[in-house]
Structures are given as C-alpha cells and as structure tokens.
Structure 1
Amino acid sequence: MEFEFVGEVIEWRGPAPYLFVPTPAEVSAELRERPELSYGWGCIAAHARIGETDFETSLMPRGGTYLVPVKVVVQWAEDVGLGDVVTIGIRVAERAT
C-alpha cells in the first residue's frame, strides 16, 4: 500500500524526540480497515519519504488518525520544522494474515 499526501508538521507533547505529520482522514480510514497491518498497539511499520530523504518509521494511532513521526535527522536534512507543510510518501508492507 502506498500513499502520498500533504500535511502540516505538528508536535505531540509526549516523551518523543519527533515532530509528526497526521495522515488525512481517507488514509487513516483505509489503514484502520486493515488491522492485520499492525504489529501491536495499532502501530504500523512503514517506509516514508519527505523531499529526498527516505526513512523507516512506524505509523502511530492517535485520536482517530495515524501520526507519521518525522525523525530529527529527517528534520535537519529537509529543513522541516513545526508548522511546515510537507509532501510525504508512505509505503506500508502487506503482512501475511
């Protein structure tokens, strides 16, 4: 499964060194329909791309959507900060049921 969307970089006040990009409602809905994609607690392993930077991450369920963590190394490489609007691609591996 692959998705590409535009989203605003947000901050979640939790114990993580990341900013996040929420998935759009239609992407979140499609992911929720596929519980077999989760490796636990609703998290889904994914490959992501912002600009020219590829990275491995996990989509995290939060408030009816999924959050895509933007690692600090990606923030630096792509000059991404809180409130920026980015185009992000994600690829989720199909898991055997």
Structure 2
Amino acid sequence: MIVDFEGELFRWQARTDAWYFVALPEPLSLDVREVPRLGRGFGSVPVQASIGGSSWRTSIFPDAERGTYVLPIKRAVREAEAISEGDAVPVHLDVLDG
C-alpha cells in the first residue's frame, strides 16, 4: 500500500526525551488496520517513509489517544527538511508487508 498524505508534526514528551510524530489520517489508519499481518511489538507496522529528499525505513505505531497510526520523525529528517513542531508535513509512505 503506497499513499501520500499531509499531517502536522507534533511532539510527544516521554519521561526524559521528546519524540516527534506525524499522525496518519483516520481513513488511512483504518485501511492499515484491516490488512492481516503478523503481530509485532507495540502493534507496529513496517514502512518506508519519505519527506522531501529524506527517505528511511521505520514503523508506524497505533496511538490510542488519536485513534490513528503515527509515524516517528527522527531528528536527522527534521533537520534535513527544515521542519519543526506544528509544521504541515507532506509524507510519502509505503506500508510494507513485513
């Protein structure tokens, strides 16, 4: 499943670290949930993500608070693409069979 969407970069504060994510749209999250796959840690789903000229492999994770999957955006990508909290981020996502 290959999709393009735009989402707002948000910060999630853990105990000592801050993590940054973009939430997938609700309809897309529902489509991802419907695909049968083997269980993985924390309900994660492997993906190939691209933002601008940056591309990387990671996983999306279910976020019970939002009711959607969220894509973690690592610091190297945020810096390379000059994005920060609150920015609208265009994402190209290839959801892998994993």
Q: Give your verdict on TM over 0.5.
A: yes
In structure 1, runs of 5+ residues without a counterpart are none
1:4 paired residue number: 4
2:55 paired residue number: 54
Alignment TM-score, normalising by the size of structure 2: 0.87
In structure 2, runs of 5+ residues without a counterpart are none
2:95 paired residue number: 92
Contact 1:37 1:44 in 2 (8 A): no
Aligned to 1:11, the other structure's residue is in SS state: strand
| Paired-residue identity, % | 35
CA spacing shift, 1:62–1:49, aligned 2, 3 Å: same
CA spacing shift, 1:13–1:26, aligned 2, 3 Å: same
Q: 1:49, 1:37 → 2: CA distance?
A: 24
For residues 37-83 of structure 1, the C-alpha deviation after alignment (integer angstroms, 9 at most, x for no partner) is: 65232101111000111011110110210110000000010001000
For residues 11-42 of structure 1, the C-alpha deviation after alignment (integer angstroms, 9 at most, x for no partner) is: 11225553100000111000111241652321
Aligned to 2:32, the other structure's residue is in SS state: helix
Residue type of the alignment partner of 2:14 = G
1:68 paired residue number: 71
Residue type of the alignment partner of 1:44 = V
CA spacing shift, 1:37–1:85, aligned 2, 3 Å: farther
1:79 paired residue number: 82
Cα RMSD for the two superposed structures: 1.6
Alignment TM-score, normalising by the size of structure 1: 0.88
Report how many residues are paired: 95
